[in-house]
Structure 1
Amino acid sequence: MDGDPAVEPDLDSFSLTLPLPYRVALVVDVPSLLHYPARPSPRTDTPHHLSTYRLATLLSIPLTISFLLFWALSHRNPTLVIYYDFLPFSYLCFLLLIFLLPLRRFSSAGRTRFLTTLRRVSIGGIALPHDGKFGDILLADVLTSYAKIIAELFVALCMFFTPNGSATKRPDRGCGGQYLVPIIIAIPSLIRFRQCITEYLRYFSAFPVIILSALQRNLSVNHDKVGLSETAVYRFWVLAVFVNSFYSFYWDVAKDWDLTLFTAQRAHSGLRQRRYFPFKEMYYVAIGADLLLRCTWSLKLSPHLDHFADFESGIFLMEILEVGRRWMWIFFRVETEWVRNTSSAGLGAPGQDDVLLGDYGSGKEDDD
């Protein structure tokens, strides 16, 4: 599919090097989703960031070993790539066990708290402000960026457990039914929509994009039954994705980051009076990057790049860019929350051991 005639038509060269399960494992940055409670003794206990790096190292080392072993055994041979599909799944099983097993030395408190928070937000729940409401909001927002990765994980599992199937074959995004993958992609937006009805437009506007994308990508859909031609579906898709992207960009800048760029006065050069980051340019770069990454869909409007997102490598790059955008967004969102809280409390700058996501509980926690 990526234009390499030397490989089988059912397995493109990118998938020979980086099969779907490995893409899922590579993009899922689990430590960034963990929310830690305050340290009982900030001066003597391990800092939060070191605990996160420790868990990241634990997850990265076996992933690297699995990668190297897979490449050494498969030699990018299509038959061997399909045969050794159990290797990436072994790592995914390891990842699951790390989360579920009660291993105190590997961020036990953080993993437990993450799973507890995930259970709560998965049904649209949200904690009280003093119990970690901001952390719940962050997690739900992060899940919206991971929606496609979650769907890719389902596709890999579906292919792995399909009779005569293999998770390292060319991804079959119709596995399980024509609309099942779009429904899975919509679930994180539905969770966030349920969490905060007052922000309904931002998250509700994602649903038309998902539905129309499903209509576009599934060639077996009979558009006549819904009274729409392929051209009409495409035009509605452009309109829906335009509204979703630019409204989400507006919300990022004006609501999540509290910047004045879209106000009539544009006070403080379009930023705000209180800022934690030292350079104005950081905010402008973030605004520009957020706009560009919100509009990656515009590649489909180019006659030269319109099929870029149809390649497996293109799909993977789009997922990486969205996760990177969310990673950047979190820094400025947490900074905004700190400014809001300290502005009302009259506090000074945060120290290196301050917890910006709130104190999630009381009692003694372990060192990780």
Structure 2
Amino acid sequence: MVGTAVVVGGGIGGLAAAIGLRRIGWEIRVVERAPVLEDAGAGISLAANGLRALDELGVGEAVRSAARGQYSGGTRTPAGGWLTRMDGALLEKAVGTPIVGIPRATLHRLLREALPAEALLIGYDAGAVRQTAPGRVRVEDGRGDVLEADLVVAADGIGSRIRSGLFPAHPGPVHSGSTVLRALTEEAVDLRTDFELTWGRGAEFGHIAFHDGRAEWHAVLSLPAGTRFPDPLAELRRRFHDWHDPIPALLDATRPEAVLHHDIGELRTPLPSYAVGRIALLGDAAHAMTPHLGQGACQALEDAVTLAAALATAPTTEAALARYDAERRPRSQAVARAARQAGRMGQRLTHPVAVGLRNTAMRLTPSRTATRMILRHHAWTPPRLR
């Protein structure tokens, strides 16, 4: 079965969905509200499930070439003691690939390059989405421009207007209780590990190392929504000045204007369906989750491949979307719950006794046991598209 599709949203999930649909013979248009597709953002880790999805989309090799494998590192205390050590080689042996780190802008560029330039429509603010007979969906922007297709993929993010229109009674995204500041360093930093997380009381600091010696760092703080600082970098230097190396060095290697600050939201109330008629919800529009497992982008990539595979084999679009919903909703919502719980046991903990008990439990957990826990989310086999 082939047809035409409009993908609303030009982020990682939307571009991946467009690539998948194009690989099975569909005609696609990606519409993005932003007037310019800027290579913005910090960094991202991709686990085996996300890389396997990218392989099925035909861009896995390019992404691996631009990424750095995460073989060393782990989780530490602010004083520098190790809670867990990463065994990237053991993980690679178990699932066939290490976790990799890549600048988000690089990943976005590689996905864009897999699509013809004419497939991307920038500055199109998709507003009303209406299903029309027979079996067509109509997308309109605020200027009266209209696109019609057999399918609309709503990949318009955590604040999805399409989702709000389909489920008006749903409460929508809520603040997770945390905010994140992050940036790429301006210059190379002397790092001894590929990836680290450090958990303090109500705070987390982490880094991802890249091929060129630069790094992405992030700081997650337990703060009310809307909290902002006049000088974010100075505030982070104040909060983390006595945390272990290389945290101060990472902050010193960052330009103040490079720091991004976002509140972390999530869809705490699960959606009853990822498909309504000929509209499919994908990525954060369907299952926005906290970042504590590093699975947000990976789950969107899984969505994209699963949707394309269903459309390639099902007899009708409606049957394909029903299959997509049945396959993706249980898994992605389970991962979202696990990410929320990981945050509660990690960065969100503040009581000294609770922090101490967690740290002891982590130190006593064997490496192989920790690896098995990771594999619950990473060990996913994509459906074949070709």
Please give the TM-score of this superposition, normalised by the length of structure 2. 0.25
* Higher strand proportion: 2
Question: Which has the larger Rg?
Answer: 1
Please give the TM-score of this superposition, normalised by the length of structure 1. 0.26
